[in-house]
Structure 1
Amino acid sequence: MIIVGGVYREECVRPYWSRIFGSAGRAAVALSALSPHSHLTAYAYTGWAEDVRQTMQGFGVATDLREITANVGFHYFHPLSISELVGAPGKQLQSLSANGDVVLRFGMVEGDAVISARRAIYDPQHPSAALLFHANGSTAKELAIVLNEAELEYGVGEGVGDIWSYETVRDRFKADVVVVKRGPLGAVVIQAGGNVQLPAYRSETVFKLGSGDIFSAVFAHLWGERDWPAAQAADFASRAVACYVSTREPQLSLEGLDELAPYPAGGAVGRVYIAAPFFTLAQRWLVDEMRGCLEMLGGQTFSPIHEVGSHGGAEYIAGQDLEGLRSCNAALAVIDGEDAGTLFEVGYARNLGIPVVVLAEAPRPESLTMLEGTGCLITDDFTTAIYQAIWSSMR
């Protein structure tokens, strides 16, 4: 397979991550075992282009790198935070080109790529690029577009029609198949004959950086090269993502993927209660960040500081908070600092049979005894806590 797209430096504060990957680089490594003799075409910063060549050679991937002076990177505070783009060139560079039987093309920061293929798979990487496959003269006998829900909405546009209608999507994207990645909710394949809703698969931890690249790579291989039906290819891509986010290992095997357990496909996301102290700036920031991330992923939230506030008597505040907790399907608790109110809410939720996900980054071991003993799911990773809270709320 030919993979065309970005190779960038990736930096993340928590969990710590510092690698040169980018969408195309990660996809090339992912495909190295599945599709031997794959070929990577990309721009690459002169300072580390040779490192990329040597790394890809080690995985058996041939390279065609156009060296550039821009050291492009993406910086994240955590994997669900908005990335900071650094080092982008001031203007678009001359387009890359690739011709082959099956081509996986990613949207890029520096420029674009003109491709010609029997089967092409296009992952735009940004809403503004959702409709741009054909715009630069790229051609394919069959085209599958793999994107997220925001890119789908942008591509269809307001007032055009039902974003989940095959006819609407086909006419807007000029594609045979459109696969919509929906994070913790799995994926939807929009195709002739009816849409197919696919689940996300269970993983104990969630390292989100690059998960979409893995999905696109595995789908491209199975649909593009092995001729699998789009829904089956997307289902195995979802399984491969579960493996990747648990291990951070981009080189993949299909063995064992059919044994993974799914979350309910098409299940409704419920309401998540945020149990956490909010008395300092740092505590309030974390509550706001949790609330924003849960809602970004399709969840509903009840946050006491937002829904009830901090004014009023203790009896009023406690009553309103607990009424809100009773209306929720899951709780997400921050127990660092062992705030009395938070611990009370955790116990109250468990007594009601409400599942509780606990974020504990720096706990005292003895403080976890009752949480572990009452079936709370405990993690020290922010992104994992958010995803597990979403999954725990599904009904």
Structure 2
Amino acid sequence: MDSLIVVGGLYAEKCIQPLWNEVFGSGGRAAAAVSSLVPTTLVAYVDASLRVDADDLAARFGFTLDARDAQHPVSFSYLHPLATPVIRPSPDRIVTHAPLRVRGDVVLRYGMLEGDAVVDAQVAVQDPQSAFGAKPFSENGSKANRLAVVLNRYEAMSMVGTDEPDEVARRLMRTENAEVVVLKMGGHGAFVAWPGGTATVPVYSTEYVWKIGSGDVFSATFAALWGVQGMDPVQAADLASRATADYCNRRTLPIRQPADLAALSDPPVTPGKGTIYLAGPFFDLAQRWLVEETRAVLLDMGAEVFSPVHAVGPGRAEVVAPADIKGLEASDVMFAILNGMDPGTVFEVGYAVKLGIPVVAFAENVKPEDLKMVVGTGCEVVDDYTSAVYRAVWRLPVS
């Protein structure tokens, strides 16, 4: 069986909620994900302080580690999986190392913070892993007889100046001679283009959503199935989407075998549109921060948001309450922050239930007895923040 060489970052990762403290990075996670499918080698910069963890990762998942010396470790710290991570050292202080030179039959190349990788391969898959300054595959002298580029909308804008799917594919096929282009479009799935046509594969919904590293799993699965096993690009991308959903739901690696992935029953997401009413207290710094964070995350995911503190603001009860209710009546879904069981938020939940508006409630450290009426009237109650956000977006109506 052909093997896969993964070249990418191996970084420390920490998350506060839910708790996470591991050494993975894009390269480490990719190698761990597909080592059960194909023989896998990871080529990565590894600082001495991370060497024991790196060796342990390779031993646990059964891949070969080709470690190149690094001058310092790199870490990513998240408050929650949808938060912008704090990178240490800050990107402007990360030492730029000499490029990694990698030759092989099939190579998956990720963008890295410490340096670059110059690839010479029969088959290559590129995942730029950079929203700012993503570079074309060939710019550093990399070459491949067959190339697939897997990227998201932000990376597409940086690399080719547009995120319109057909145009992204045309430009990368023309300028990079890419055989396959896979554009990840968030909740709208992944657009797959190849010389014979185009197709879109869906995102699959899950009960739980662990977002950190989900893109790594997608690219690694695609590289193993298309690049090594010779699967057609649409089938490989669909199974990569299923593997990603399974990883998000279980937070475990390696991924399942292709037949097992195909048998998973997770329903595809049909993207909807509309307004989410953001109900929650905002009377102290912590409460206001969570409202601000949630509003920003929902907007970034493409939803319209009615937030009372932003749309109406503080004021007299006889002014604020009717304006808030009017906003609620015009909304399609409610995202309710029930931490602390604020009376105003609880009232809004009851009003939404009476109107038949779907309610997704985020509740940490709330007693089950206090949630009895919320649960008993059909509201979704979720104690994981990221999962709650996704469930609210998935409840938007499909036109």
Q: TM-score range by the shorter chain?
A: over 0.9
Partner of 2:58: 56
1:368 to 2:362 alignment: no
Q: Which amino acid is the alignment partner of residue 54 of structure 2?
A: V
2:11–2:74 contact (8 Å) kept in structure 1: yes
Report if the CA contact (8 A) 1:144-1:176 is conserved.
yes
Q: In the superposition, relative to structure 1, how do residues 273 and 147 fare at CA in structure 2: closer, same or farther (>3 Å)? A: same
CA gap 1:29/1:346 in 2 versus in 1, 3 angstroms = same
- Aligned residue type for 1:55: L
CA distance in 1, matches of 2:57, 2:140: 30
Q: Tell me the SS of whatever aligns to 2:364.
A: coil
C-alpha distance in 1 between matches for 2:74 and 2:269: 39
Code of the residue aligned with 1:78 in structure 2: it is H
Equivalence for 2:171: 168
Q: Report the Cα offset of residue 90 of structure 1.
A: 4.2
Report the AA paired with residue 148 of structure 1. N
Contact 1:201 1:263 (C-alpha < 8 Å) held by counterparts: yes
Whole-angstrom distance in 2 between the partners of 1:204 and 1:162: 30
Percent of aligned positions that are identical: 44
Partner of 2:83: 81
SS in 2 for 1:101: strand
Structure 2 CA distance for aligned equivalents of residues 200 and 322 of structure 1: 33
1:190 aligns with 2:184: no
Aligned to 2:313: 309
RMSD, aligned CA: 1.8
Match of 1:260 among 262, 265, 280: 265
* Contact preservation (8 Å) 1:155, 1:173: no
Write the distance in 1 (CA, Å) between the matches of 2:382 and 2:149.
Answer: 35
Please give the alpha-carbon distance, in whole angstroms, between the structure 1 residues aligned to 2:384 and 2:194.
37
Q: Which residue of 1 aligns with 2:116?
A: 112
Q: Distance in 2 between matches of 1:164 and 1:325?
A: 38
**Whole-angstrom CA distance in 1 between matches of 2:188 and 2:343:** 33
Secondary structure in 1 matching 2:35: helix
Match of 1:244 in 2: 247
Q: Please, which runs of 5 or more residues in structure 2 have no aligned partner?
A: none
Q: What secondary structure, in the 3-state scheme, does the structure 1 residue paired with 2:29 have? A: helix
Q: Find out whether 1:134 has 2:138 as its counterpart.
A: yes
Measure the CA separation in 2 of the matches of 1:256 and 1:372: 33
Q: Which runs of 5+ in 1 are unaligned?
A: none
Match of 1:71 in 2: 73
Contact map agreement 1:101 1:119 (CA 8 A) in 2? yes
- Tell me the amino acid that sits aligned with residue 124 of structure 2: A
Aligned to 1:21: 24
Compared with structure 1, are the counterparts of its residues 129 and 102 closer, same or farther at alpha carbon in structure 2 (3 Å cutoff)? farther
Give the superposition deviation at 1:46.
0.7
Is 1:152–1:163's contact at 8 Å kept on the other side of the alignment?
A: no
* Structure 2 Cα separation of the partners of residues 50 and 287 of structure 1: 40
How does the TM-score come out when normalised to structure 2? Answer: 0.93
Q: CA deviation at 1:83?
A: 1.1
1:199/1:262 contact within 8 Å kept: no
